Amino acid sequence: MRLIKSVVLVILVMGLAAFISNKIMSDGNGNIPASLYDLRMKALDGSDIDFSKYKGKHLLIVNTASKCGYTPQYADLEKLHETYGDRVVVLGFPANNFLWQEPGSNEDIATFCEKNYGVSFQMFEKISVKGRDQHPLYQWLKSKTGQSPSWNFCKYTVSPDGQNVSFFSSKVTPMSEEILKALEI
């Protein structure tokens, strides 16, 4: 009898752990978004952005930070936006996941980006890009590529139909041949 109780307890604990893990790694409803275009997120200014507006466009998604060795990549992200903005949408997602290199508020981040790099591409409010509180966007990106950001300024390219997603490490610059090729530029 004692063995049966122990087995039942183990099964209950394992089931609870699986349930909690599913909730942590989902959109809060137990599901990773089926499509990138199902998402709605807040911009740095607090406005709502419906991702359905990005259907049919190449996307470059990047997790950013203001106090990182890769922070100068903001200049290349802006150059990509200015040069190819009619064909590519650059989306920046500040994150404080790597050595607390994005400690500021959304307002601080907006001021920093404008003042230091003249950023005019779409920036979003600060989110978590890895770990237990990973945002559903990054859960979706991970489900497509098998990779979460390993550091600040990791990049994902997304095809206009939202089906082909590629991952690039922080070392790959926004204007590199690899990125431009993935964006079909």
pLDDT tens figures, 23-77: 333 344 446 899 999 999 999 999 999 999 999 999 999 999 999 999 999 999 9
Q: Which of 68, 172, 175, 185 is catalytic?
A: 68
pLDDT beneath 70: ranges in the chain:
1-31
pLDDT at 165: 98
pLDDT at 1: 61
* 68 in active site: yes
The CA dihedral of 136, 42, 102, 27, to the nearest 10 degrees, is: -10
pLDDT at 31: 64
Q: Tell me which H or E stretch contains 177.
A: helix 177-182
Q: Hey, what are 102's tokens?
A: 């994005």
- Spatial distance between the Cα atoms of 23 and 134, rounded to a whole number of angstroms: 11
Measured CA distances, 102 to 68, 71, 117 (Å) = 8, 10, 16
pLDDT at 146: 97
pLDDT at 26: 39
pLDDT at 2: 65
Q: What is the rounded end-to-end Cα distance, in angstroms, of the chain?
A: 68
pLDDT at 100: 96
